[in-house]
A and B are shown apart, each in its own frame.
Chain A
Amino acid sequence: MTILVIAEHNNASLKDDTAKVVAAATAIGGDIEILVAGANCSDAATAAAALTGVSKVIVADHACYEHQLAENLGLLVADLGKNYSHVLAAASTTGKNFLPRVAALLDVAQISDVIRVDSADTFGRPFYAGNAIATVKSTDSIKLLTIRTSAFDSVDATGSAAVESSDAVHDAGLSTFVSAELTKSERPELGSAKIIVSGGRGMQNGENFAMLETLADKLGAGVGASRAAVDAGFVPNDMQVGQTGKIVAPDLYIAVGISGAIQHLAGMKDSKVIVAINKDPEAPIFQVADYGLEADLFNAIPELNEKL
């Protein structure tokens, strides 16, 4: 049994998601190899080779893989993947984009958002916005999984795997990269932040998020938002925590002015400690919060900022 993990990276560096997917692969058991597909991505490959438990890193370094275009990556991973028992990727916007193409090309099912490994063919995954957890058994010869990284702890970096290069060039010629507008922030990414401060519709406008940013900076936290805040145009969508946004599980999640709709809870209810600050005592968020404070956030947040 050999497992292929597709690295999550930006060419220059490896994302921590990869170490979490390797943890899921370790739980399955067997040899673990990593594919780093990108352009000028040798630094990411070196970092992948250091992950504990990895026996080999395959580097496909070509311009057609630079932006992780699903059409090209799908062909490459389908070509390589047919020799493996499992192919794993993070349930990120990259993994979700290319892995179903691989599944279709290999004519096998994909299991999305795996949160639990029971055995080499049986996995747990949430559906219905996390209101139900299915135990799913795969009968396919190759098992394709996207891994919900918030459910796994990163493996260490004590290894020294061999790095091999692949000269396979799969340019489907269907798509081209035009531009990227990536949010630049000094704060931790939502996926890896130990503390997250999130705002909802109660914030009233985007400017008021400055209060939450002040709080986040005091705590070394990331800043998130509910779908209601995104829909209202207060903040960009990449801040969205929820069923259709980011799924997070930090040590501390502070929900400010968030009512607690089903789809928001789906994105944060596995956080270790949840704090809710809301002026509506009936808000459903209080039903999942460890500590609830019924208060006007426009008083409570400045007070927190002053006292912390």
Chain B
Amino acid sequence: MKILVPIKRVVDANVKVRVKSDNTDVDLSNLKMAINPFCEIAVEEAVRLKEAGVASEVIVVTVGGKVCQEQLRTALALGADRGIQIDTSEKVQPLTIAKLLHKIVEAEQPSIVLMGKQTIDGDNNQTGQMLAALAGMGQGTFASEVKVDGDKVQVTREVDGGLMTVELKLPAVITTDLRLNEPRYASLPNIMKAKRKPIDVKTPSDLGVEITSGLEYVKVESPASRSAGIMVESVDELIEKLRNEAKVL
């Protein structure tokens, strides 16, 4: 069984980004970049399924410029077998990414596509679901537990009111939530080994996908800022302020 893991290079989760002064976008220059945290969880889950003998091969794929190979190497160091970079310098939106990934799915025929539920830059939470629809597959989104059983998979999903378990026919798309697992750190020997693992480069035109967009980002602004209020000295003062000043109690 093959598992395909789409990943994304994003700004590090601990970095607070700022909006550019011309309001065209956020300023990412010189910021630390990393593999999107949910994608890392997806890589970990795929590698665990391989270690458990369920999967035979883990392929990681990303869409972006050559710099994204850095994150593919990270995933290879965590245990993925080979990488695919879909090379483009354009800004691609979820539907186009889903179309590109769909072509890779058609070529590789994975039994499971395991990917993050959202990236922490775009915060869209769309690509996995879109890919599943394009490929005519079932989906287990926001997964906190994945159990493969023959040609089916049971996915426990984190939903607003608690947990919901669904059973999907394979092939299927699974998107990860935080509690699915805790990703490992890559060991130095594995980082060295990852350098020799193959990365295949394709372009959107190789795949026959045109980069289009139904959306235009008109402007990007900082949110209304919230200034720090006051420090109170005691619980009594806090209660007094909440009752008489803020009037929320």
Binding site for B on A (CB under 8 A): 67, 69-71, 74, 92-94, 96-105, 107-113, 122, 126-140, 172-183, 191, 195, 219, 227, 230-231, 236-238, 243-244, 246, 251-252, 261-263, 269, 272-275, 286-295, 300, 303-304, 307-308
- B18 to chain A: closest residue by CB: A131
Q: Which residues of B contact A176 (CB under 8 A)?
A: 166-167
Q: Which residues of B contact A295 (CB under 8 A)?
A: 235
Q: Find out whether the CB atom of B169 lies under 8 angstroms from the CB atom of A174.
A: yes
Q: Find out whether the CB atom of A135 lies under 8 angstroms from the CB atom of B235.
A: no
Instruction: From the candidates A93, A112, A172, A231, name the one contacting B126 in the complex (CB within 8 A).
Output: A112
* Docked CA distance A92–B141 (Å): 12
Interface members, chain B 153-197 (any A CB < 8 Å): 154, 157-169, 172, 177-179
Q: Find out whether the CB atom of A238 lies under 8 angstroms from the CB atom of B160.
A: yes
Q: Which residues of B contact A175 (CB under 8 A)?
A: 138-140, 166-169
Q: Which residues of A contact B221 (CB under 8 A)?
A: 132-133, 135
Instruction: From the candidates B13, B144, B165, name the one contacting A180 in the complex (CB within 8 A).
Output: B165
* Docked CA distance A121–B214 (Å): 11
- A271 to chain B: closest residue by CB: B226
Given contacts A100-B129, A109-B214, 20 further A-B contacts (CB under 8 A): A94-B159, A97-B129, A101-B139, A104-B95, A107-B95, A112-B126, A133-B222, A133-B223, A135-B219, A138-B214, A175-B138, A179-B164, A237-B178, A238-B161, A244-B120, A261-B14, A273-B242, A292-B229, A304-B235, A307-B236
* Docked CA distance A263–B172 (Å): 29
- A109 to chain B: closest residue by CB: B214
Q: Which residues of A contact B139 (CB under 8 A)?
A: 70-71, 97, 101, 175
Is B107 in contact with chain A by the CB < 8 A criterion?
A: no
Q: Find out whether the CB atom of B123 lies under 8 angstroms from the CB atom of A74.
A: no
Chain B interface size range:
35 or more
* Docked CA distance A129–B215 (Å): 20
From B13, B38, B120, residue with most partner A Cβ within 10 Å: B120
Q: Find out whether the CB atom of A303 lies under 8 angstroms from the CB atom of B213.
A: no
Q: Find out whether the CB atom of B164 lies under 8 angstroms from the CB atom of A67.
A: yes
Q: Is chain A's interface secondary structure helix, strand, loop, or mixed overall?
A: mixed
- A253 to chain B: closest residue by CB: B248
Q: Which residues of A contact B208 (CB under 8 A)?
A: none
Q: Which residues of B contact A111 (CB under 8 A)?
A: 215
Q: Is chain B's interface secondary structure helix, strand, loop, or mixed overall?
A: mixed
Q: Find out whether the CB atom of B217 lies under 8 angstroms from the CB atom of A136.
A: yes
Known interface pairs A109-B93, A109-B215. Does A127 touch B246 (Cβ–Cβ under 8 Å)? no
* Docked CA distance A295–B237 (Å): 13
* Docked CA distance A104–B177 (Å): 22
Is B241 in contact with chain A by the CB < 8 A criterion?
A: yes
Q: Which residues of A contact B219 (CB under 8 A)?
A: 134-135
Binding site for A on B (CB under 8 A): 11, 13-14, 16-19, 26, 38, 93-95, 98, 117-118, 120-134, 136-142, 144, 154, 157-169, 172, 177-179, 213-223, 226, 228-232, 234-236, 238-239, 241-242, 246, 248-249
Q: Which residues of A contact B142 (CB under 8 A)?
A: 93, 97
Q: Find out whether the CB atom of B228 lies under 8 angstroms from the CB atom of A100.
A: no
Q: Find out whether the CB atom of B214 lies under 8 angstroms from the CB atom of A97.
A: no
* Docked CA distance A300–B239 (Å): 11
Q: Which residues of B contact A140 (CB under 8 A)?
A: 214-215
Q: Find out whether the CB atom of B248 lies under 8 angstroms from the CB atom of A252.
A: yes
Q: Find out whether the CB atom of B123 lies under 8 angstroms from the CB atom of A113.
A: yes
Instruction: From the candidates B98, B162, B213, name the one contacting A183 in the complex (CB within 8 A).
Output: B162
Q: Find out whether the CB atom of A292 lies under 8 angstroms from the CB atom of B231.
A: yes
- B219 to chain A: closest residue by CB: A135
Q: Find out whether the CB atom of A300 lies under 8 angstroms from the CB atom of B223.
A: no
CB distance from B168 to the nearest CB of A (A): 5
* Docked CA distance A132–B220 (Å): 6
* Docked CA distance A195–B13 (Å): 28
* Docked CA distance A101–B231 (Å): 48
- B130 to chain A: closest residue by CB: A104
Known interface pairs A69-B166, A103-B95, A137-B216. Does A273 touch B246 (Cβ–Cβ under 8 Å)? yes
Q: Which residues of A contact B117 (CB under 8 A)?
A: 244
- A172 to chain B: closest residue by CB: B138
- B124 to chain A: closest residue by CB: A112
Known interface pairs A111-B215, A136-B216, A244-B178. Does A131 touch B167 (Cβ–Cβ under 8 Å)? no
